[in-house]
Structure 1
Amino acid sequence: MSGAVPTTMKAVIVQEGKRVQVKEHPVPPLRDDDILVKTVAVAQNPTDWKFVDFVQNVGTILGCDWSGYVVAAGKNVTSPKVGDHVAGFTQGGTFTDGGAYAEYVRIPADLSWVVPEGSISHEEAATLGCAFWTAAQALYHPTRLGLVEPPEKVNEEHWIFIYGGSSSVGQYAVQLAHLSGYKVVTTASPRNFDYVKSLGADEVFDYRDPEVVQKVKAATGDSLKEGFDTISLKESQALTAQVINPTGGKIVLLLNPIPEAKVRDDVHVGYTLIYTSLGREFNLRGSHYPVSSEDRAHMAAFLRKVPALVKEGKVKPNPVKLWKGGLTAIQDGLQYMREGKVSAEKIVYRVEETSP
């Protein structure tokens, strides 16, 4: 089947001037431990437009989240097999041979997961990428929050705070923490209260409420020791630290800590960066990130659990907003997200809809 793979493909390539363009691009060459996937659906994340606007690695393939079929496998790969429906995450906007917004994506075999037959669609599977992996890394990695990881459960009443429960990352964090047996308190807009509760949140409060800190503390008996800020603006970082109990604790952010957001010395502030789970060194905004074998091994182990979680319905994909037009429509989808119009849903594109 690998003989049927073309040498070039359509891909969304970062251009000068904070824009992207669909161009003919080489299909990444297969390596011994890789699979090559023909993409069916790809999903959009805030990191995509930020790479276009602020990182600007011109000539690289954009996009992180993908779902498709294995069309070729390296000689060392026993699973997944050619023909399997697989999904995963890759670092878009960084490499010329990696990125999801393309007709083909190459990925290490153990950094993909097989979508159980009859479980979820390609569009839904594509949403279980950047945000889902980030939630898992933030909650479970020993150097992040180090919580009890499914299928194990915490054996006592233990509250966890998640700021931004209706965000893409927040939706998965709420579900995973609930699966691990934690009591979950989160924030959201009132219109999303019922939805985040359906994902497993025990208590939800309006992040705009001037009394939100007091209400979170009252609901949890002022017992919070851990917090995860899925938004990581100045206000959210400060609030996440403020809800921690009087003896202190630990919070994890999606972005670097903002010095002005520090409100307590007894709360350890760390952050998580999901790209380190991919086992490839990279440079990002002036910083060099070497290969982290620890981060890669943790994620590869977690991904082995994902097919069962999906098959048993224990993890719900983000609600899908299908954006018509395939790869050629991504420029418009990025602008829609830049303007802050996405709420509690994931923009997804079907690659086959791409115009010539």
Structure 2
Amino acid sequence: MATHLAAVATGKDQPFEIQDRQTRMPGPGELLIGVKSIALNSIDYKCRDTGFAVASFPAVMGSDVGGVVLKAGTNVPSTFKPGTRVSAFAPAFFQRCAPDYGAFQQKVIIPARNVTPIPDTISFNEAATMPMAVVTTWSGWWTIGLPRNTAFSPSDKQGMLVWGGSSSVGSMVVQSAKLLGFTVYATASAKNHEYVKSLGADRVFDHKDPSVEQSMIDAAKGDGLTFQYGYDAVGALQSCQNILKELKGSGPAHLASATPLMPGSPTTDGIDTKFVVASLEEEEQAEQFSFWMNVWLKEKLEKNEIVPSPKIQVVEGGLHGINKGLAILKAGVSCTKLVIEI
């Protein structure tokens, strides 16, 4: 049987080891993807270090893939014929890091609903930056009840608060919110303001400014905006809640949190704060991913209405570089997506 190389977690809080794995053929609704690029996410080192979302070891982690379809299982759309260049969300988290489904390997099994073809203008590295960001963005909209067909115009004066606009998720949230018709207020370090504006933010504020909350409130009132929705991409719940409380108008405001809500997390009257998560009901989740990846991302890339973001930093070493890359990520990066080339 054919084999391929994988970065395997052999136990909790252990570095990945490069091992040979048997290459499984795709089943119904699945694709075998030849991995060309992998983007790293914070959940990757959390799973490795703590065993979070790991059913058992050995395990293979990772979610973000740019690659090529090698083989399609039955009941797969003809869109995904062998040779198709794709951006794909490997379902490691949802499969409890079962080895066949993690991105950290040369070949990976991914449901076709989690995959979108990419134009020739998109590189494999760029393709790898998008899946987790798209899934997390749209999981947030679903979690807080924002309809897919939302289509405001500037005259509606509907604002969207995005805290962490230069982060991987935040940069996609900014683009998505703008496409839904919101006037987007985002935060970022001062050095990243122009970049976040280039993604569609109407105003960008320095999150390190002690008066940032009041500055955003004053600007929004001056612009005549109402903020009924917000997205906290990096973990600034109290600031987000304070701003939304002042700007929500009548009725509640809804805040999506990309970081888990813990006992003692701040709460504010009139602000419905929820942790971002896709549906856990199998059929509904399948429909969600199909829309997010097969429809929305495909259409937006074809129309050049979104761009891969944020900026890419390649970590050398291929699969051998994943441990180093996760150490860099754990130490902290700004407006940067770390990518491994296979």
Assess same fold via TM > 0.5.
yes
Residues of 2 paired with 1:147 and 1:238: CA distance?
25
Moved more, 80-89 or 50-59: 50-59
Q: Which of structure 1's runs of 4+ aligned residues deviate more than 6 A?
A: none
Residues of 2 paired with 1:229 and 1:218: CA distance?
20
Residue 307 of structure 1: CA displacement? 2.2
Residues of 1 paired with 2:168 and 2:24: CA distance?
29
Structure 2 equivalent of residue 153 of structure 1: 151
Structure 1 equivalent of residue 255 of structure 2: 251
Structure 2 equivalent of residue 120 of structure 1: 122
Structure 2 equivalent of residue 299 of structure 1: 289
Gaps of 5+ in 2: none
Matches within 5 A, 1:188-207: 188-207=188-207
Structure 1 equivalent of residue 231 of structure 2: 228
1:309 aligns with 2:300: yes
Residues of 1 paired with 2:296 and 2:230: CA distance?
24
Residues of 2 paired with 1:119 and 1:273: CA distance?
31
- SS of equivalent to 1:177: helix
1:327 aligns with 2:319: yes
Structure 1 equivalent of residue 241 of structure 2: 241
Structure 2 equivalent of residue 209 of structure 1: 209
1:14 aligns with 2:9: yes
Matches within 5 A, 1:4-153: 7-16=2-11, 17-55=13-51, 57=54, 58-77=57-76, 78-92=78-92, 94-116=97-119, 118-139=120-141, 141=142, 143-149=143-149, 153=151
Q: Is the 8 A contact 2:63 2:103 kept in 1?
A: yes
Q: Is the 8 A contact 2:116 2:297 kept in 1?
A: yes
TM-score for the superposition, normalised by structure 1: 0.86
Task: Describe the shift of the 1:18–1:291 C-alpha distance in structure 2 as closer, same or farther (beyond 3 A).
Answer: farther
Structure 2 equivalent of residue 284 of structure 1: none
Residues of 1 paired with 2:132 and 2:292: CA distance?
14
Q: Is the 8 A contact 1:62 1:101 kept in 2?
A: yes
- SS of equivalent to 1:174: helix
State the Cα deviation string for residues 237-261 of structure 1 (Å, max 9, x = none).
Answer: 1111111144431111113223433
Residues of 1 paired with 2:61 and 2:266: CA distance?
34
Indicate the RMSD between aligned Cα atoms, in angstroms.
1.8
Which residue type is aligned with residue 231 of structure 1?
A: V
Task: Describe the shift of the 1:216–1:296 C-alpha distance in structure 2 as closer, same or farther (beyond 3 A).
Answer: farther
Residues of 2 paired with 1:144 and 1:88: CA distance?
25
Residues of 1 paired with 2:297 and 2:257: CA distance?
23
Residue 147 of structure 1: CA displacement? 4.4
Moved more, 90-99 or 237-246: 90-99
Residues of 2 paired with 1:19 and 1:97: CA distance?
19
Q: Is the 8 A contact 1:14 1:60 kept in 2?
A: yes
Which residue type is aligned with residue 127 of structure 2?
A: A
Residues of 2 paired with 1:291 and 1:60: CA distance?
24
Matched positions, count:
323
Residue 110 of structure 1: CA displacement? 2.1
Residue 205 of structure 1: CA displacement? 1.1
State the Cα deviation string for residues 161-182 of structure 1 (Å, max 9, x = none).
Answer: 0110010000000011111111
Moved more, 168-177 or 57-66: 57-66
Structure 1 equivalent of residue 337 of structure 2: 346
Residue 32 of structure 1: CA displacement? 1.8
Moved more, 161-170 or 217-226: 217-226
Identity among equivalent pairs (%): 27
Residues of 2 paired with 1:186 and 1:264: CA distance?
20
Matches within 5 A, 1:279-298: 290-298=280-288
